[in-house]
Amino acid sequence: MPELPEVETIASGLWPMLAGQTIEDVTILNDSSVEGRRYALENLITGREITHVHRRGKLLLMDLSIPEVYEHELPVPRSEYPLQLAFHLKMSGRLFVHPVGTPPARHTRIIFDLSNGNRLFFDDVRKFGFCRALAPCDYLNWQFWQQLGPEPLVINTDRFVSLFQSRRTRIKAALLDQKVIAGIGNIYADESLFRAGIRPDKPSNEISQKSLRLLHVKLKEVLKQAIRECGSSIRDYRDAHGDAGAFQNNFLVYGRTGQNCRVCGNPLKTEKVAGRTTVFCGTCQR
């Protein structure tokens, strides 16, 4: 599943191609690819300009312009008009801009026709991903959004430490919990814990403040490096131009089951933490 660096990379790649474009039409080809109010996605975003593309956690967000008409001319109250489109790519979701007239591919789930003639396709082989139109009323009713934790690149270190100090759950499980901190998945949890020298199965409340501070530093370093290298391509992930990321070439532990540690040379260990395959070094991570 694309994590924070991958979604950040996709958003930054899409924005130059979508900046100032108006959504002229929406075609839904797969019902399960829509979450929330289908009516809003089909009928209330046409004629709206895309004003920004960015990220929140693992969500890709497209901001929309405000309808420039009087309240009495709108078919529904203004509070029900979407302010954003939220895409969760899940395992295999992709967003690509195609030239005018491009037909949908086999796995295209939603088509957005743009004012310059281009078409934005939301493709998803496994059909786990979704698009959701977000109006003021939707933010309040969407529990996932309401419970989303702070951003690891924005939160200060003192707040980061406080999030984990009182939790008895294992530190990797806490990092993966989107209610605790947003955007971290299996890859960047393993890599940051290795760089901080912390065992992934250690209870959060047994880790010293000094080690938690170091973890925040290393987590930000890993995320920023991954963003610079356009994310990690393991299976399905491609950026907005169809290119693979490069950070997988720098993995120190993730996906290296059965190999030796690149720091100490000892065999890496593998176990399940929070239901996820976890690779770590028993020597470097104490």
The rounded distance, in Å, linking the Cα atoms of 145 and 163 is 18
Using alpha carbons only, give the angle 253, 255, 257 rounded to the nearest 5 degrees.
80
Burial degree of 276 (CB within 10 A; 0-12, 13-18, 19+): middle
Q: Which residue has the tokens 């996820």?
A: 276
- Residue among 258, 247, 252, 253 at smallest CA distance from 280: 253
The rounded distance, in Å, linking the Cα atoms of 168 and 147 is 19
| Paired sense of beta strands 130-134 and 93-98, if any | unpaired
Contact 121, 96 (CB under 8 A): yes
The rounded distance, in Å, linking the Cα atoms of 218 and 175 is 13
Residue 104's φ and ψ, nearest 5 degrees, are -65, 145
Helices marked H in the chain: 4-18, 38-43, 136-141, 143-146, 157-165, 171-176, 186-196, 209-228
User: Which residue numbers are catalytic?
Assistant: 2-3, 58, 276
Which residue type, as a one-letter code, is found at position 260? N
User: 121: part of which helix (H) or strand (E)?
Assistant: strand 119-124
The rounded distance, in Å, linking the Cα atoms of 48 and 232 is 33
